[in-house]
Amino acid sequence: MSDTRHPEEWQGIQEQMQQWRRDLHRLPELGLYVPETSLYVQSVLGELGVPFHTLLDGNAVVGLIEGAGPGKCIALRADMDGLPVRKETGLPFASTNGNMHACGHDGHMAMLLGAAAWLVTHRESFTGSIKLLFQPAEESPGGAKPMIEAGCLENPHVDAVFGLHAGAISTELPEETVGFRSGPLMAAVDKLQIVVQGKGGHAAYPQTTVDPITLAAELVLALQTLVSREKSPFDPLVLSITCINGGRGMNVIPDSVELLGTVRTMNPETRVWLARRIREVSEQLAASRGAAVEIKHDFIYPALFNDKSLTALAMAAARKVLGEQRVYELTEPVMGGEDFAFLAEAVPGVYAFQYSMASTDGEIYPHHTSRFDIDEASFSEGARLHVQVALDFLGAVDA
């Protein structure tokens, strides 16, 4: 079977990936509107000789590398969007537009372009085809689902999908390893908004009001008992109220208070149950105080489940690239969310974590912070892993 061990060739690709990453790092864009990022990816694919087309008004890019003959099709996915974070790393290629690639998506794109650079020059070594999915809006509002609806998994039909996240998404993951987990890997993501509607008035006469602030405080505590007292501790579940808005003056009880938060679950049944119980507890508590509530509970991303057989294949591919000792089997899922889950619902999928953190001023900073950085030296291994997973899935002929 073919493998990816071509040191001199990969050295040249590594240098390209570093430059691509730095170019992309300078122009982080947000959400579904990433025109400059998309144009850059299109330009590189064109230079590599990879056919491509765009979706979502030009903000998503789908490349296609066809092998020596017909066969299966695997998709490799990289997200493209940045975050509204002002960069403080001091890097010479730092962005200046007030946004930042603070989650490693610049590295994801560079690694997928690196994989494309290798695959397009070795297309005679495999049969079938490999799709390259460059997706906007992983952070928000989600780009995978609209890409699927626009046909990214068809023509040719995709039989499997692989994705890799750089950095240190799982705190369990040892340094210089790649982590895999069959089954549930990342949580479903819900957005929660509760508006407590009371009756405002003078703070000196609270008996003439229906105080939404005290009710909101009660509600925050009551909702936590749903997690700690109504569900098994072995059923992963997080309910976090993260923002409270209400009132403007020290002597005025407001009419309403807004609560914002998020819910994370692994079990689809638990997700539905919790949405129902949040509504029941909120409405009943409000009614007991003569108030009312308006609840908006949106299911954003489903939980990400890795296919069992595809996970085994990807782990075997990783051992070829990294060696046995650097392939790690995660024991626990993480409660972060990832809209790769939509792709893995549509076709068998596997998503993996690559530890590739870089220090800023001698310290490691987490994802979504202003000093987050990734190790560019890891790109070669990440790109090779994309390639090896694709080759092994397609049953590559000898190179």
Domain ranges (residues) in the chain? 7-185+303-394, 188-301
How confident is the model over 134-168, as pLDDT tens digits? 999 999 899 999 999 999 999 999 999 999 999 99
What span, in angstroms and rounded, lies between the C-alpha atoms of 116 and 105?
16
Residue 183 backbone zone (phi > 0: left; psi -120 to 50: alpha; other: beta): left
Tokens of 222: 């009551």
Rounded-to-integer distance, Cα 308 and Cα 330, Å:
14
CA 394 to chain centre: 26
If you ran DSSP here, which 8-state letter would residue 208 be given?
G
Helix axes of 105-120 and 7-25: crossing angle, nearest 10 degrees = 140
State the Cα angle at 41 between 166 and 34, rounded to 5°: 85
Q: Which fold has domain 7-185+303-394?
A: Aminopeptidase (3.40.630)
Query: CA-CA distances (angstroms) from residue 86 to 90, 96, 98, 221, 371?
Result: 11, 8, 5, 34, 9
Q: What is the CA radius of gyration of the chain?
A: 24
Token reading at 203: 């703070």
pLDDT at 307: 99
Residues forming the active site: 301, 376
Topology annotation, domain 188-301? Alpha-Beta Plaits (3.30.70)
Other C-beta atoms closer than 10 Å to the C-beta of 329 total 10
Q: Which residues of the chain have pLDDT under 50?
A: 1, 398-399
Show contacts of 318-322: CB within 8 Å, 24+ apart. 318/178, 318/180, 318/352, 318/385, 318/388, 318/389, 320/3, 320/4, 320/388, 321/4, 321/381, 321/384, 321/385, 321/388, 322/177, 322/178, 322/381, 322/385
